[in-house]
């Protein structure tokens, strides 16, 4: 769910666990041992996973948005989930929505795509609905990111994007919703672009450098860290 919808509940949880200085189990309040990622251990235990490795090292990549853009465009389910989650994290920590519209445009474009999962991507013994549940996890993470962008940018239609989808979403009918999203994703992309243009932040042109240091690229603009 979008963060602004669950903000009150998050604050309640923060207050409930304020007296604990480390991670604890929510039902029992017992301490949970902190586990640190080790590539060496992952290989020795035959548990190495390339996506986990990339995420573990993502903090080394500066600026951060380069790593986020590198995850975009694929339709592997785990990769898609990581990408949409990182876009949401970036917006939550960003100083301004103006540096996020390109990431959100990518989310909007990918909305109608069906994420693909392999059997080994899912938790063992998760049940017969695990594949469908994983698909909806990706969708709701993507649509929540779009709603959060609407919240930060003050675009009401995006903020309540799920209200503009018909009964297929209520019924969790992916094929029906996919058809609706093929139309809505185009409309929402146009809306984001028009809004960014009206705010004069859509790939703004940089003044050319007359001091001989080189011309600025019109596609270059400063992104918040």
User: What does the pLDDT average to over 40-51?
Assistant: 94
User: CA neighbours within 13 Å on the CB side: how many for 14?
Assistant: 6
Q: What is the pLDDT of residues 66-112, one digit of tens each?
A: 899 989 987 899 999 999 999 999 999 987 789 899 999 999 999 99
pLDDT of 219 above 80: no
Locate tokens 């949409």: which residue? 84
CB burial of 34-56 (b: ≥16 within 10 Å; e: otherwise) equals eeeeeeeeeeeeeeeeeeeeebe
* pLDDT for residue 206: 66
- Distance of CA 30 to CAs 37, 42, 117, 132, 140, Å? 22, 27, 34, 33, 31
Q: How confident is the model at residue 48 (pLDDT cuts 50, 70, 90)?
A: very high
User: What does the pLDDT average to over 121-144?
Assistant: 90
pLDDT of 140 above 60: yes
Q: Where are the domains of the chain?
A: 1-35, 48-198
Cis-peptide into 215, omega within 30 deg: no
The CA distance from 164 to 180, in Å, is 10
Of 113, 163, 165, 164, the closest CA to residue 139 belongs to 113
Spatial contact of 96 and 224, defined as CB atoms under 8 Å apart:
yes
* pLDDT for residue 213: 33
The larger pLDDT score, comparing residue 72 to residue 225, is at 72
What is the reported pTM?
0.84
User: What does the pLDDT average to over 142-159?
Assistant: 96
| Coil, helix or strand at residue 24 | strand
Q: Which residues pair with 116 in a beta bridge?
A: 76
User: What does the pLDDT average to over 38-47?
Assistant: 94
Which of 34-38, 53-57, 142-146 is least confident?
Answer: 34-38
Which of 12-16, 91-95, 142-146, 151-155 is least confident?
Answer: 12-16
- Helix count and strand count (H, E) for the chain: 10, 0
């Amino acid at each position: 769910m979008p963060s602004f919808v669950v903000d009150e509940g998050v604050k309640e949880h923060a207050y409930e666990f304020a007296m604990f200085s480390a991670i604890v189990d929510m039902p029992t309040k017992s301490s949970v041992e902190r586990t640190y990622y080790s590539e060496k251990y992952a290989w020795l235990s035959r548990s190495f996973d390339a996506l986990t490795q990339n995420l573990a090292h993502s903090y080394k990549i500066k600026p951060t948005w380069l790593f986020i853009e590198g995850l975009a465009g694929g339709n592997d389910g785990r990769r898609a989930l990581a990408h949409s989650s990182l876009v949401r994290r970036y917006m939550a920590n960003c100083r301004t929505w103006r540096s996020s519209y390109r990431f959100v445009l990518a989310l909007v474009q990918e909305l109608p795509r069906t994420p693909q999962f392999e059997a080994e991507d899912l938790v063992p013994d998760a049940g017969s609905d695990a594949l469908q549940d994983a698909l909806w996890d990706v969708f709701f993470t993507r649509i929540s990111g779009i709603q959060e962008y609407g919240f930060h940018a003050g675009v009401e239609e995006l903020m309540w994007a799920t209200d503009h989808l018909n009964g297929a979403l209520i019924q969790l009918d992916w094929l029906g919703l996919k058809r609706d999203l093929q139309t809505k994703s185009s409309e929402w992309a146009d809306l984001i672009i028009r809004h960014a243009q009206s705010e004069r932040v859509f790939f703004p042109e940089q003044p050319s450098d007359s001091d001989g240091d080189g011309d600025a690229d019109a596609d270059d603009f400063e992104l918040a860290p």
